[in-house]
A and B are shown apart, each in its own frame.
Chain A
Amino acid sequence: MTATKESAPEKQSTGRRLAGTNTLWIALVLVALVVVFGIIDPSGILNITNLQFLLIETAVLLVLSVGMTFVIITSGIDLSVGSVLVFSGITSALTMNALSGGDSTNAGWGVVLVGGIVAVVSGAAWGVLNGLLIAKAKIPALIVTLGSFGAALGAGELLTGGSDVRSVPTALSHSLGSGTVLGGIPTMVVVAAVVAALGGWLLSTTRFGRYTYAIGSNEVAAQRTGIGVTRHLVMVYALSGVLSGLAGFMSLAYFTTTTLTSHSTDNLNAIAGVVLGGTSLFGGVGSVIGTVIGVFIPAVLNKGFTIIGVNVFWQPIAVAIVLVAAVWFDQVRRRARNQR
């Protein structure tokens, strides 16, 4: 054997690998923000009620961002998430109303369950449509999802005649919307945490996740190894759609209205969170844990500015700076790497 120089390729420790990624730095930024706001006003951000609201208000965006993480790792983009959220909330609310003879306020659990399924299926349908147009018809994801961004909202407004649906089962709003479980943890937060945990598991340990990375890293190579790239991409966009549908149902439960006009920038907020969390817009790199951290940075900035009395309009500016810095960092790292 001539394999004498084989010095048993060493396994890098998880810590060392993490240190090389953006995720660790962005986690430190988040911790630093919490510490700074905590020092300025100790009873502010670390106050349980404030913390609860921070988590609840971020829950819906986190669910969208988990799906977005998969999409961006395939080097795609999904601009339609906010509109699909609204559309799914509308189909769900209208179905629940129809099942309860017009007003679902006093509807039972059966109706709520059907409403949940309708929301998820509506989201999945938009996701599959996006996926087919992107992967099969080979239309750029930016254009396809820009189209469904407009179309899903338009379709929703057609269904309601342009006004919000305001009757939502009390059973739903009091449980998922404003309820708590396990002694005080908001149900919304638990649902978002479960989605993030499952998403993280799917991405980092399964073949589905491995193919997601492979396609984003080098689509041609993935195709050549026999991976069903088209099928996989459709499933990734469908996943994003399903999670948008779920987010729509959560939003409906929380706000008890379909919030037609409040989600036009959800897509950008989700993309910002995902990218802040170290997922590369060029594909092939990213993690759900990073996304969780990334989503909370704008949220903490927002809460923190409110608490310490800084004009809240500074928040988007601060987020923009961190976001552009994060992407610049990623690009410098890639360029350095590709020169080898």
Chain B
Amino acid sequence: MSEPLLEARSIVKHYGSVEALRGASFQVAAGEVVSLIGDNGAGKSTLIKSLSGAEQPDSGEILFEGKQIHLDSPTAARSLGIETVYQDLAVAPDLDPAANLYLGREIKRKGLLGALGMLDKKEMRRKASEEFARLGVTLQSVDVPIASLSGGQRQSVAVARSVVWASKVVFMDEPTAALGVVQRERVLDVIRKVRDQGIGVVLISHNMPEVLSVSDRVGAMTGALVQEES
């Protein structure tokens, strides 16, 4: 295994008197898929939240490219190239795929119109089509509301949204939980493409066949500890 890109060392997290994480350690390198499996309540989501800036661990170290970092918000993580795909569909269903892809990162027009806040919708649509093609996400149309797409396509857009902006690491919290077999396969294809581009992927899943089919390594979480298996 190459140099770890992101590494967690003995992360501890309490919610009141409940110990959600009891010294969890794990690492992910560029271009590999690491899966975390474990029962509900084993602390998988808490670990991901701690590493993506959504929660702050009570103790432990997070190292990014060998240097210790402190993530106080998801924005801080994002600026390092760390993105998260959430379990629930984190898209705006009434906006089209291109608008969702660029949500919060809109491209403005050049010159005065841009200064007034006008968006360059054409450019965003064009670039979005390119990105979707690159990730193998096929959509009939880039300018219908996401809600009119199938569940698998919707989740593919949600995954693509995080992946396009992630330059280093992507966390995925059960990205296929709500999907059927065919749709699930589509999302897994996207995950493989992302890995092939040299991005580290951390996947949380309950589905063993799925985990085995995409993962390079699997970590089992039991009682808030991570046991590494290859």
The interface residues of chain B lying within 8 Å CB-to-CB of A226 are: 74-75, 78, 104
The answer to whether B140 and A217 have CB atoms under 8 Å apart is no
Q: Interface with A: B41-49, B64-72, B142-150, B197-205, which one?
A: B142-150
The answer to whether B147 and A218 have CB atoms under 8 Å apart is no
The answer to whether B133 and A214 have CB atoms under 8 Å apart is no
Q: Does B103 contact A (CB under 8 A)?
A: yes
Contacts A2-B136, A11-B143; A221 near B92 (Cβ below 8 A): yes
| A3, A7, A11, A218: most-surrounded residue (chain B CB, <10 A) | A218
CB distance from A212 to the nearest CB of B (A): 11
CB distance from B97 to the nearest CB of A (A): 8
The answer to whether A284 and B94 have CB atoms under 8 Å apart is yes
CB distance from B90 to the nearest CB of A (A): 5
Q: Does A208 contact B (CB under 8 A)?
A: yes
How far apart are the CA atoms of A207 and B109 in the complex, in Å? 11
The answer to whether A214 and B116 have CB atoms under 8 Å apart is no
The interface residues of chain A lying within 8 Å CB-to-CB of B116 are: 206
The interface residues of chain B lying within 8 Å CB-to-CB of A12 are: 141, 143-144
How far apart are the CA atoms of A216 and B104 in the complex, in Å? 15
The interface residues of chain A lying within 8 Å CB-to-CB of B5 are: none
The interface residues of chain B lying within 8 Å CB-to-CB of A5 are: 138
| Chain A, residue nearest B142 (CB) | A9
How far apart are the CA atoms of A226 and B106 in the complex, in Å? 12
CB distance from A176 to the nearest CB of B (A): 26
- Counting contact residues on chain A (CB < 8 A from B), the size range is 35 or more
How far apart are the CA atoms of A11 and B121 in the complex, in Å? 12
How far apart are the CA atoms of A207 and B92 in the complex, in Å? 15
Q: Which of B86, B106, B108, B138 contacts A224 (CB 8 A)?
A: B86
The interface residues of chain B lying within 8 Å CB-to-CB of A213 are: 92, 94-95
The answer to whether B91 and A218 have CB atoms under 8 Å apart is yes
How many residues on chain B are close to A (CB under 8 Å)?
42
Contacts A6-B138, A12-B144, A206-B117; A217 near B94 (Cβ below 8 A): yes
Q: Which of A10, A208, A225, A337 contacts B104 (CB 8 A)?
A: A225
CB distance from A137 to the nearest CB of B (A): 22
The answer to whether B133 and A6 have CB atoms under 8 Å apart is yes
The answer to whether A338 and B92 have CB atoms under 8 Å apart is no
The interface residues of chain A lying within 8 Å CB-to-CB of B26 are: none
| A6, A12, A220: most-surrounded residue (chain B CB, <10 A) | A6
The answer to whether A3 and B142 have CB atoms under 8 Å apart is no
Q: Which of A7, A8, A9, A218 contacts B90 (CB 8 A)?
A: A218
The answer to whether B108 and A207 have CB atoms under 8 Å apart is yes
The interface residues of chain A lying within 8 Å CB-to-CB of B132 are: 6, 9
One digit per residue, 1 when the CB lies within 8 angstroms of any chain B CB and 0 when it does not, for chain A 191-214 equals: 000000000001001111010011
| B99, B118, B132: most-surrounded residue (chain A CB, <10 A) | B118
Contacts A221-B90, A338-B147, A340-B148; A210 near B75 (Cβ below 8 A): no
Q: Which of B75, B103, B136 contacts A222 (CB 8 A)?
A: B103
Contacts A207-B106, A221-B92, A227-B104; A3 near B134 (Cβ below 8 A): yes
Contacts A12-B143, A227-B103; A284 near B90 (Cβ below 8 A): no
The interface residues of chain B lying within 8 Å CB-to-CB of A284 are: 92-95
The answer to whether B125 and A11 have CB atoms under 8 Å apart is yes
The answer to whether A337 and B106 have CB atoms under 8 Å apart is no
The answer to whether A337 and B140 have CB atoms under 8 Å apart is no
Q: Does B63 contact A (CB under 8 A)?
A: no
How far apart are the CA atoms of A285 and B148 in the complex, in Å? 14
How far apart are the CA atoms of A12 and B105 in the complex, in Å? 24
The answer to whether A3 and B133 have CB atoms under 8 Å apart is yes
CB distance from B84 to the nearest CB of A (A): 8
Q: Does B119 contact A (CB under 8 A)?
A: yes
CB distance from B23 to the nearest CB of A (A): 28
The answer to whether B104 and A9 have CB atoms under 8 Å apart is no
| A7, A207, A216: most-surrounded residue (chain B CB, <10 A) | A207
The interface residues of chain B lying within 8 Å CB-to-CB of A283 are: 94
One digit per residue, 1 when the CB lies within 8 angstroms of any chain A CB and 0 when it does not, for chain B 188-230 equals: 0100000000000000000000000000000000000000000
The answer to whether A8 and B129 have CB atoms under 8 Å apart is yes
| Chain A, residue nearest B92 (CB) | A217
CB distance from A228 to the nearest CB of B (A): 10
Q: Does B81 contact A (CB under 8 A)?
A: no
Contacts A224-B86, A337-B148, A340-B148; A210 near B91 (Cβ below 8 A): no
How far apart are the CA atoms of A2 and B100 in the complex, in Å? 24
B positions within 8 Å CB-CB of A: 74-75, 78, 86, 88-95, 99, 103-106, 108, 116-119, 121, 125, 129, 132-134, 136, 138-144, 147-151, 189
A positions within 8 Å CB-CB of B: 2-3, 5-12, 17, 202, 205-208, 210, 213-214, 216-218, 220-222, 224-227, 283-285, 337-338, 340
Closest 6 CB pairs of A and B: A225-B104, A284-B94, A217-B92, A206-B117, A217-B94, A9-B142
A-B contact pairs, 12 of them (CB 8 A): A6-B133, A8-B129, A10-B141, A11-B141, A213-B92, A213-B94, A214-B103, A220-B88, A220-B90, A224-B90, A227-B104, A340-B150
